[in-house]
Amino acid sequence: MNSLSENFLFDTLSALSLLIAFYYSLSGIACVVYHRHELLRSVRNFVFIGVAPALGALILAYLLVRSVSDLSDPDASYSGSAILGVGVPLFIGAAFLALGAVLMVVWRLAGPSGYFDRRGFEALPREIAEGAAPPLEALAGEQEKERL
């Protein structure tokens, strides 16, 4: 790895920031898309599962684009060297992103068939999201009564 960059650790950390920004911007978009049917049920839902994740995704997407443009300059890396005309951190980040995409396709084609076909679980029951569920203390009390 030292042949790529004398400061490979620092360049790798810079590349990691690109992957984090990419992942969290996709997560914000996924949150809004997944809960799109719940957004207009209340102002609280609209703000916390609509506006906040979308705004976070937009900010991180902007930072990702800004970082890519900054790290494309080889002088912006810790080593000051270039691979294929771009800075080492940008090359490392793009290489790991491509590797992840290839591994995802391989897993999709060769992995267990039911993994991608199943419907995802609901992390939060609708009653709790709407505030109609009883408090947790009441649920714990009922479970204790049933156990006895």
Convert the pLDDT of each residue in 26-74 to its tens digit.
999 999 998 888 888 889 989 998 999 999 999 999 999 998 888 888 7
Residue 72 has a pLDDT of: 82
Higher pLDDT, 103 or 112: 103
Convert the pLDDT of each residue in 104-136 to its tens digit.
888 888 877 666 666 655 556 666 666 676 656
- For the chain, the DSSP string reads -TTT-TTHHHHHHHHHHHHHHHHHHHHHHHHHHHTTTTGGG-HHHHIIIIIHHHHHHHHHHHHHHHHHHHHTSGGGSSS--EETTEEHHHHHHHHHHHHHHHHHHHHHHHS-HHHHHSPPPPSS-HHHHTT-SPPHHHHHHHHHHHH-
Overall average pLDDT of the 15-21 stretch: 89
Against a cut of 0.85, is the pTM above it? no
Residue 107 has a pLDDT of: 85
pLDDT classification of 24: cutoffs 50, 70, 90: very high
